[in-house]
Amino acid sequence: MLLDKRRFKWFKKNLVIIGFLLPTFLIIFVVMIYPMLHGIILSISRLDFGDFTLTIDGFSNYINLFNSDIFWIAFKNSMIWTVSTVTGQFIIGFGAALLLDQPIKGSYVFRTILLLPWAFAGVVIGVTWFWLYHDDFGMLTWLLRGLNFNVTAVLSNEHTAFPAVILADIWWGFPFVMLMLFSGLQTVPRTLYDAAIVDGANSFQIFRHVIVPWMSPIITIVIILRTIWSLNAFDLVKVMTGGGPGDTTEIFGFYIYKQAFKYFKLEKAAAASVVLLVIAIIGSILYIRLFSVRGGYNENT
Amino acid sequence: MRTPSMSRRNKLKKVITYSLLMLLCVFSLFPILWVLVSSLKMSSEIYTIPPRWIPSKFTLLHYFRVITNPDMRRAFLNSVIISSISTLITVFFGVLSAYAFSRFRFRMKTPLYYFILMTRMLPVTILIIPLYILSVRLKLLDTFLGVITIYTAIALPLAVWLFRGFFETIPVEIEEAAMIDGCSRLQTLIKVTLHLLAPGIGAVSMYVFLFSWNQFLIALVLATSPEVRPLPVELLFYMGEYSVDWGPLLAASVLMVIPPVMFFVALQGYFSKGLAEGAVIQ
């Protein structure tokens, strides 16, 4: 009797928890986990375009993929893209966060202006920079010419197209880094600064030995998130260059889209996205490690 | 001896800080202003060599052309429908899950929470092909149901994460007091906790709305028919293969960023607070 009552209570209590969590997990499972598994199976299958059923086919899609030159070009471009956009966004974003953390007037106004690019849709940013780089009527093209750079048709020139899109992506992404790190800076205890100043530390030493160690978990999270988003970038390339000229701006996200929805090589594109997934999983493991570390950090303070 | 040099150094530091901030603001505003100014020019003045900042005459002609274009109006309506419904659902389920993670004790809590955090890292690029195939099979291609469900799922992990951060800032004691006063848990959640969570709900709603409003790849693949396609996809119709209709394209771009920018300016303070708490308290 007592046991039954207890079991009933356990069930009743857990029913609430299940009810609270189930919708979220259900939607995530249906839209993310199941499709992800489906994608993995697709990458080792042949797709029937009549009724969209799969037949397991082994690793021919991967062999196909790894034998394709454009895949390796996209791979190389994605690495360059990711390293340069994340580095650029991080340096500008962290710099901006440190500046905003100074005792300045109008901090709110500065913050709002600097955050603006982040509110923009990728498509709009693509259009904006496409217009800035316009060969005849683009303000940025003329500004560069005014500074004695010999630029012609920035986005259709093999040498300038890729850096040009990278700059646009840095513009889009630095506010996120700034916002996260600025928020992080607010949590650095003032007593740590005071102690460092009493010890005679200069600004750089405070930065190096107080701010960076305190912020290292949030810095790592920001870098990992931005890295994964950069690896999957799509919008700007689609709007600004379409992967060209040649293959110079072909990056992973766009390559997958093009293979799947322009050439309808869905299986090959799925194989490419699994390669991307592996990279993302490595990132996720780092991410989880980090969160565990953070938990320990909290308990100690 | 020491004070004047210190104050001079402080002054120099201030000057440098402000100049660098100004420089960053120029970097941030330059593209925005150029698009804004261009969208207000007469067609003939959009195409001048070299380009000029200030036209001889400002005009709203291109804006007029955009808002009288039935396709654009339809796309605007579609965007509003998709973004607001997915925001509502995401916030509702997100609050429930975050509440459970923040207030209940149960087995597997930590692994389940990490699972949610992990799905946040799953990139859309990986999901888009299977989602396309499943949508075709389930006849969800070009339907609001399909797009809204997908947007909701992708925004949910972040919403749970942010809401949990907000819940952690609400002292449990307040809820306990309400329960001692005879409220049930559900009553407490609705009457007390949600009330305190209001700023957080505003901030997360804004973020999810922004995400759905700006999302491009999913819409481009799964919502291309005129009945459902949202603004980011519609915008591309001004960009032909060989010529671009710059006036209306720029005007439509400006119109499209107005809602997000308004949200941003209004709720920015709450939002950065929420991100900080979400990030730091986890």
Confidence (pLDDT) at B1: 45
Give me the number of domains chain B comprises: 2
Do the chains contact at A27 and B156, CB–CB below 8 Å? yes
For chain A, the average pLDDT equals: 85
**Pair B162, B256 in one domain:** yes
Q: Taking a C-beta distance cutoff of 8 angstroms, is the pair A117, B261 a contact?
A: no
**Is B55 a member of any domain?**
no
Q: Which helix (H) or strand (E) holds A179?
A: helix A161-185
Nearest CA in chain B to A124: B253
Give me the number of domains chain A comprises: 2
Tell me the chain B residues in contact with residue A183 when contact means C-beta distances shorter than 8 Å: 272-273, 275-276, 279-280
**Is B54 a member of any domain?**
no
Residue B96's domain is classified under what CATH number? 1.10.3720.10
Confidence (pLDDT) at B264: 77
Which residue in B129, B214, B265, B273 has the most chain A C-beta atoms within 10 A of its own C-beta, making it the best mutation to test that interface?
B129
Query: Is some CB atom of chain A closer than 8 A to the CB atom of B67?
Result: no
**Pair B32, B121 in one domain:** no
List Cβ neighbours of A237 (8 Å cut-off, separation of 6 or more): A165, A243, A249, A250, A251, A253, A254
Confidence (pLDDT) at B282: 35
**Is B122 a member of any domain?**
yes
What are the start-end ranges of the H helices in chain B?
Answer: 2-39, 43-46, 61-67, 70-103, 109-119, 124-137, 144-168, 172-180, 185-188, 194-214, 217-222, 231-235, 246-281
Instruction: Write out the DSSP string of A9-62.
Output: HHHHHHHHHHHHHHHHHHHHIIIIIHHHHHHHHHHTEEE-TTT--EEE-TTHHH
Confidence (pLDDT) at A3: 57
Interatomic CA distance for residues B14 and A238, integer angstroms: 42
Confidence (pLDDT) at A30: 92
Do the chains contact at A120 and B257, CB–CB below 8 Å? yes
DSSP-derived letter for residue B56 is S
**Is A64 a member of any domain?**
no
**Pair A103, A12 in one domain:** no
Amino acid identity, position B121: M
Interatomic CA distance for residues B134 and A35, integer angstroms: 8
Q: Taking a C-beta distance cutoff of 8 angstroms, is the pair A154, A141 a contact?
A: yes
Average of pLDDT values for A53-71? 88
Q: Taking a C-beta distance cutoff of 8 angstroms, is the pair B207, B158 a contact?
A: yes
**Pair A109, A220 in one domain:** yes
Query: Is some CB atom of chain B closer than 8 A to the CB atom of A228?
Result: yes
Residue A153's domain is classified under what CATH number? 1.10.3720.10
Which residue in B12, B44, B106, B121 has the most chain A C-beta atoms within 10 A of its own C-beta, making it the best mutation to test that interface?
B121
Average of pLDDT values for A233-253? 90
Which residue in B86, B125, B179 has the most chain A C-beta atoms within 10 A of its own C-beta, making it the best mutation to test that interface?
B125
pLDDT at residue A46 tops 80: yes
**Is A55 a member of any domain?**
no
Query: Is some CB atom of chain A closer than 8 A to the CB atom of B18?
Result: yes
**Pair A79, A170 in one domain:** yes
Interatomic CA distance for residues B136 and B183, integer angstroms: 48
**Is A261 a member of any domain?**
yes
**Pair A147, A204 in one domain:** yes
**For residue B114, with 0-12 CB atoms within 10 Å meaning exposed, 13-18 middle and 19 or more buried, which class applies?**
middle
The 10s digit of each residue's pLDDT in A72-97 is 999 999 999 999 999 999 999 999 99
Half-sphere exposure of A74 (CA within 13 A, CB side): 29
Amino acid identity, position A21: L
Query: Is some CB atom of chain B closer than 8 A to the CB atom of A107?
Result: no
pLDDT at residue A299 tops 50: no
Which residue in A14, A139, A259, A277 has the most chain B C-beta atoms within 10 A of its own C-beta, making it the best mutation to test that interface?
A139
Do the chains contact at B28 and A114, CB–CB below 8 Å? yes
Confidence (pLDDT) at B222: 94
Q: Taking a C-beta distance cutoff of 8 angstroms, is the pair B78, A164 a contact?
A: no
**Is B52 a member of any domain?**
no
**Is A204 a member of any domain?**
yes
A 39-78 residues with CB < 8 A to B: 39, 42, 47, 52
Positive/negative CA dihedral, A34, A39, A44, A48: positive
Confidence (pLDDT) at A133: 92
Query: Is some CB atom of chain A closer than 8 A to the CB atom of B127?
Result: yes
The 10s digit of each residue's pLDDT in A250-277 is 999 999 999 999 999 999 999 999 998 8
**Pair A31, A75 in one domain:** no
pTM of the full structure:
0.87
Interatomic CA distance for residues B154 and B91, integer angstroms: 12
**Pair A226, A261 in one domain:** yes
Query: In which band, very low, low, confident or very high, does the pLDDT at A54 lie, cut at 50, 70 and 90?
Result: confident
Q: ipTM for the complex?
A: 0.87
Question: Between B97 and A136, whose confidence is greater?
Answer: B97
**Pair B155, B38 in one domain:** no
Do the chains contact at B24 and A298, CB–CB below 8 Å? no
The structure tokens 């009724």 sit at A51
Considering only CB atoms, A113 lies closest to which of B25, B104, B244, namely: B25
Q: What values do phi and psi take at B44, rounded to 5?
A: -60, -30
Half-sphere exposure of A103 (CA within 13 A, CB side): 2
Tell me the chain B residues in contact with residue A181 when contact means C-beta distances shorter than 8 Å: none
**Pair A177, A267 in one domain:** yes
**Pair B277, B223 in one domain:** yes
**Pair A37, A86 in one domain:** no
**Pair A213, A265 in one domain:** yes
B 210-249 residues with CB < 8 A to A: 210, 213-214, 216-217, 220-221, 231-232, 235-236, 239, 244, 246, 249
Considering only CB atoms, B216 lies closest to which of A100, A121, A142, namely: A121
Q: Taking a C-beta distance cutoff of 8 angstroms, is the pair A258, A43 a contact?
A: no
Question: Between A9 and A31, whose confidence is greater?
Answer: A31
Instruction: Write out the DSSP string of B4-41.
Output: HHHHHHHHHHHHHHHHHHHHHHHHHHHHHHHHHHHHTB
DSSP-derived letter for residue B192 is I
Average of pLDDT values for A131-145? 86
**Pair A267, A125 in one domain:** yes
**Pair A232, A100 in one domain:** yes
**Is B250 a member of any domain?**
yes
**Pair A138, A36 in one domain:** no
Q: Taking a C-beta distance cutoff of 8 angstroms, is the pair A231, A278 a contact?
A: no
**Is A48 a member of any domain?**
no
Do the chains contact at A294 and B282, CB–CB below 8 Å? yes
The structure tokens 């709900």 sit at B201
Q: Which of A258, A240, A277, A276 is nearest to A70 (CA)?
A: A258
The 10s digit of each residue's pLDDT in A121-132 is 999 999 999 999
| End-to-end CA, chain A | 46
Confidence (pLDDT) at B175: 82
Angstroms from A46 CA to nearest CA on chain B: 13
Confidence (pLDDT) at B3: 57
Q: Which domain holds residue A93?
A: 70-300
The 10s digit of each residue's pLDDT in A153-185 is 888 888 889 999 999 999 999 998 998 888 888
Query: In which band, very low, low, confident or very high, does the pLDDT at A298 lie, cut at 50, 70 and 90?
Result: very low
**Pair B256, B139 in one domain:** yes
Question: Between B35 and A202, whose confidence is greater?
Answer: B35
The structure tokens 């800032």 sit at B169
Q: Which domain holds residue B128?
A: 66-281
Mean pLDDT by 10 residues, chain B (282 residues): 66 89 94 92 82 84 91 94 96 93 85 86 86 91 94 92 84 83 81 82 86 93 92 90 85 92 75 54 36
Tell me the chain A residues in contact with residue B55 when contact means C-beta distances shorter than 8 Å: none
**Is A61 a member of any domain?**
no
Tell me the chain B residues in contact with residue A291 when contact means C-beta distances shorter than 8 Å: 114, 117, 282
